[in-house]
Amino acid sequence: MLYLFKELFDKEELLSGRFGVEREGLRTTIEGKLAKTDHPAVFGDKLVNPYIITDFSESQVELITPALKTTEEVYHFLNALYDILALEIGEEYLWPQSMPCDIPDDAYIPIAKYGDSGPWREAREYRERLFKKYGGKKQLISGIHYNFSFDEILFERLYACQSLDISYKDFKDGLYLKVVRNYLRYGWLLVYLVGAAPMTHSSYRKDCTKHPERIGRDGFSNEGAISYRNGECGYKNDTDLFPDYTSVEAYIHSVEAFVKDNMIQSHKELYAQIRPKAKDNKNLLTSIAKQGIQYIELRSIDINPFDKAGISLEDLDFIHLFIIYLLLKEETNYTEWQQEALFNQKNIARLGQQDVRLQKNGEEISRIQWTLDILGEMKNICQTLNLGKEALIDSMLEKSLDATKTYAYQITEKAKEEGYIGAHLNLAKAYKQTAYTNRYKFEGYEDLELSTQILIKEAVKRGINTQIIDRSDNFIELSKGHITEYVKQATKTSKDSYMTMLMMENKTVTKKVLEKHHICVPKGIELTKGQNPALAIGQYEKRPLVVKPKSTNFGTGISIFPEGTSKEDIAKALEIGFKYDDTVLIEEFAKGKEYRFLVIGDEVAGILHRVPANVEGDGIHTITELVEIKNQDPLRGKGYKTPLEKIRLDSSSELFLKQRQLDFNYVPRSGEVVYLRENSNISTGGDSIDYTDSIPDKFKEIAIESARAVGAKFCGVDMMLEDYASETSSYSIIELNFNPAIHIHCFPYKGKERNIGEKVLKVLELL
C-alpha cells in the first residue's frame, strides 16, 4: 500500500485532509475553585453556537473549531476561541488541565442549564442521567477531541486504480475502520506523548487509584503517572466494552446490543478512545449505515497545560502523521487485541514515565522498544512518501527515550513547587493576559483587515457561522438559522443599496442630496477639466477653502487652505485635483475640528477625533525617549496590523520640530504636548480619541439624518464642529464614507473601547 501511495499522490495531496478540535475546560474562580456562575449569555443558545457551548456542567466550556484544511488553522482557531472566552468570563479562568480544579461535592456541581422544551429538555435530561450513573466529579474531566477526515481525492483515486468488487462506500468505511482498530492498538503511544494529566486535586475522588502520594500542597499522584484521565480515575464505562470494528454493520450491531443490554443509554455513552463519525451524528448509527463513515474522532488526548490552545501545533501535526501511519500499517490476526490495547493504555496512563512492559500480540515488549519500532516505521513512511516530517518524529523519539521531556513529568514538577492549583492558575493567568493583548485581532486571520477580524471575532463569539469566502478581499459569509449575509471589509453589506454607495462615492451627488435634506455642507462650485477656472479662482481668492477631486475616498489629491490663499495656489491645487478626477470641487473651508461619526443602522456607534502624532512631556525624558515609551503600547504596531501605528521620528518630523525651534533631544516640560507632524492620520502615528459620550445628541442626530439622506446603514460621517461641546456650535458635513473602518472606534488611543462588531451584526439581523 505504501508504494501505491507513493505512486498515486504527491506530498500536498497526502497531507491534505480536514481537521477539527473540540476542547473542553472548566471555568474556575481566581482561587481555582469551580465557578458557580452561569455560562456567559453572550454565547447565546448552547445548542446553536457552533463554536462555544457547555459540556456536562454549566461551568464546563467546550470550544469547537470548524473543520479546517490545516493543523495551523486549527491551532490558531483554538487560540482565538480561547481569547474570546477568556475576555467574556470576567475574573474567572479556563482551567488548563484535563483533571478537574478544586471541585465541590456532587450536590454542588451545576449541571449545564437548558430550556424546558424539545431538544433543550433532552440535553438536560441526558446530563441528569449521566450524573446519576457516573457521579458529577468524573464528568468534570476535560479533554481534547481531534476530528479528522482524509481528503476524498485520496480514497477516490485509490479506489479507481484497483478493480475491487466492493462499493466505494464500503471501501472507504473499511479504510476508516482500519485506522480505528490500529488507533486502539497503538494509541498507548499517543497517551505517552501527549498525556498531561498525572495528578488529581485533593477534592477529586481519592479512591480511584491505588497508593496515591501527595504532590505539592494539594495534589495527589503516583510515581511515573502520565494520564489519570486515560487510566482508572478517568471517564469510562462501568464495564469494559469491546465493540466489533470489523465492518460498519458489525459495529452498529454490537453497539445496538450494548444499548439493548442496558449497558449504555445510547451510542453517545460508549466512551471509546476513538469513534467513527457520521454526517448526522445525532442519529449516528443509521447515518453511518446509510452514508458511511465521514470522519474519525480521537478522544484520548489530554489538555496540554503548557499551551494556551490546550494542544500544541507540533502534537496536532504528529497525530496527523500517526493517522497516516495507522492507515498504512498492516494488521495481524491476533484476536484478543482489544483487551490487550486496553491493558496497554491503562498501563501507560498509570506508569508510562517508566519503561513499562506492554503486550503485543500476546507477547511482552518494553514501551521503549515498541516505540522505537513504531517511530522507525513512521520515519520510513515519511522518507518514502517524501513528507519531510523527520524532525518531528525525531523530537517524539527523544521524548520517548527521556520521560522528563513529557508534559506529565513537567507539570508534576511545577505542581511540586507551586501546588496543583497554583501551577495551573499561574499558567491560566498568563494565557488570559495574552487574550487581552490580542483583543483587537483574531489569531490566524492577521492577514485580514482589523475591521474584518473584529467582526469575525464578534460573530464567532455570538455563535454565528463564519466562513471566509475570499480571503484577499476580506469577503466573509455569516449565517445563522436561515439567514445568510455576505460582508466585505466589515461594512460593505447587503443592507446598503448600490445606489447608496454610489451617492457617497460622488461628492457632488452627496452634497446635492444633503442640501436637499437641509443639512449644512460647505458651499462650493464644481469645475470640469478643460473648463476655464479663472472666474472660480477669482471668486475664491483669499477665502478659506478646500480643493478636492470629486470622487476619491482617502483624502488623496485634496488641498486645504484654512487661511485662504493666492490665485496661483488655487490653480496649483486644481491641477493636483485633476490628477484624480475630471471634476474638482472648490469649497469654502468649514471651521472647527473634524470628527468621524460612525453611523450604524439608526445610531451613532462611535465618534472619533484624530490628532497628529505627539508626545506628552514629563520634564525628564527627551522626545526620542517619550516616543519609545509611547510606542510600547501593544495597540501600536507597524503596517496596520494593530489599531494604532508606532510613531516614527523621520525627516519630516525633524523638519516639523525644527520649524518650531525644537529637536528630538528636547525635553518637554511635564504636561507639555509636543506635536511631531502636521497630519493626523493614524497611519503616521496619530492618536485616536473617542468623543462618543461628549458630543451633544443634536449632532449625532444630524449624522444619522445625513446617513439616512443617502439611505446608508453603514456610514462614516465626517463633520466639522467649531465647538464640539456646545449645542449651538456651527457644523458642516464634509464627507460621507461608504466603507468606514470600525477598528478605530473599537480600540481608540484614549477613551472608551466600543463594541462595533455587535452593532454590525445587529444591523445584519444576525443578533
Residues at the interface with a copy of itself (CB under 8 A): 10, 12, 469-470, 472-473, 475, 485-488, 492-503, 506, 508-509, 512, 528, 535, 550-551, 582-583, 711, 738
Report the nearest approach of a copy of itself to the CB of residue 730 (Å).
24
Report the nearest approach of a copy of itself to the CB of residue 487 (Å).
8
* Residue 657 cell numbers, joined: 520640530
* Residue 49 cell numbers, joined: 453556537
Report the nearest approach of a copy of itself to the CB of residue 469 (Å).
5
Furthest CA-CA distance within the chain: 103
Contact 568, 574 (CB under 8 A): no
| DSSP-assigned letter for residue 364 | E
Nearest to 37 by CA among 55, 58, 61: 58
Compare residues 656 and 738 and give the one whose CB is closer to a copy of itself. Answer: 738
- Residue 117: exposure state from Cβ atoms within 10 A (0-12, 13-18, ≥19): exposed
Report the nearest approach of a copy of itself to the CB of residue 706 (Å).
16
Compare residues 224 and 757 and give the one whose CB is closer to a copy of itself. Answer: 757
What is the spatial distance between Cα 251 and Cα 289, in angstroms, rounded to a whole number? Answer: 10
Nearest to 272 by CA among 338, 333, 330, 335: 338
Contact 352, 408 (CB under 8 A): yes
Compare residues 146 and 738 and give the one whose CB is closer to a copy of itself. Answer: 738
Report the nearest approach of a copy of itself to the CB of residue 440 (Å).
25
Contact 125, 133 (CB under 8 A): no
Report the nearest approach of a copy of itself to the CB of residue 552 (Å).
14
- Residue 462: exposure state from Cβ atoms within 10 A (0-12, 13-18, ≥19): buried
Report the nearest approach of a copy of itself to the CB of residue 625 (Å).
39
Q: Are strands 714-721 and 687-690 parallel, antiparallel or unpaired?
A: unpaired
Compare residues 506 and 622 and give the one whose CB is closer to a copy of itself. Answer: 506
What is the spatial distance between Cα 719 and Cα 448, in angstroms, rounded to a whole number? Answer: 29
Q: Hey, CA dihedral for 496, 607, 636, 441, is it positive or negative?
A: negative
What is the spatial distance between Cα 559 and Cα 3, in angstroms, rounded to a whole number? Answer: 69
Report the nearest approach of a copy of itself to the CB of residue 526 (Å).
9
How far the first Cα of the chain sits from its last, in Å, is 51
Report the nearest approach of a copy of itself to the CB of residue 582 (Å).
6
Q: What is the CA radius of gyration of the chain?
A: 32
Compare residues 438 and 510 and give the one whose CB is closer to a copy of itself. Answer: 510
What is the spatial distance between Cα 540 and Cα 423, in angstroms, rounded to a whole number? Answer: 72
Compare residues 328 and 715 and give the one whose CB is closer to a copy of itself. Answer: 715
Q: Provide φ and ψ at 334, rounded to 5°.
A: -55, 125
Report the nearest approach of a copy of itself to the CB of residue 12 (Å).
7
E strands, 635-701, are 636-637, 644-645, 673-675, 687-690
Compare residues 335 and 494 and give the one whose CB is closer to a copy of itself. Answer: 494
* Residue 628 cell numbers, joined: 519609545
What is the spatial distance between Cα 312 and Cα 325, in angstroms, rounded to a whole number? Answer: 20
Report the nearest approach of a copy of itself to the CB of residue 213 (Å).
56
The residue to which cell 496596520 is assigned = 640
Compare residues 481 and 671 and give the one whose CB is closer to a copy of itself. Answer: 481
Report the nearest approach of a copy of itself to the CB of residue 413 (Å).
45
**Run of H or E including 220:** strand 219-221
Compare residues 248 and 600 and give the one whose CB is closer to a copy of itself. Answer: 600
**How far apart, in Å, are the Cα atoms of 730 and each of 521, 607, 719?**
11, 17, 10
Compare residues 469 and 620 and give the one whose CB is closer to a copy of itself. Answer: 469
Report the nearest approach of a copy of itself to the CB of residue 643 (Å).
25
Compare residues 33 and 492 and give the one whose CB is closer to a copy of itself. Answer: 492
Q: Provide φ and ψ at 322, rounded to 5°.
A: -60, -40
Helix 337-351 vs helix 168-194: crossing angle, to nearest 10: 30
What is the spatial distance between Cα 463 and Cα 766, in angstroms, rounded to a whole number? Answer: 10
Q: Are strands 644-645 and 636-637 parallel, antiparallel or unpaired?
A: parallel
Report the nearest approach of a copy of itself to the CB of residue 169 (Å).
23
Compare residues 277 and 495 and give the one whose CB is closer to a copy of itself. Answer: 495
Compare residues 12 and 165 and give the one whose CB is closer to a copy of itself. Answer: 12
Report the nearest approach of a copy of itself to the CB of residue 456 (Å).
17
- Residues 204-217 as b/e (b if ≥16 CB within 10 A, e otherwise) read beeebbeebeebbe
Compare residues 117 and 532 and give the one whose CB is closer to a copy of itself. Answer: 532
Compare residues 250 and 502 and give the one whose CB is closer to a copy of itself. Answer: 502
Nearest to 26 by CA among 112, 114, 147: 112
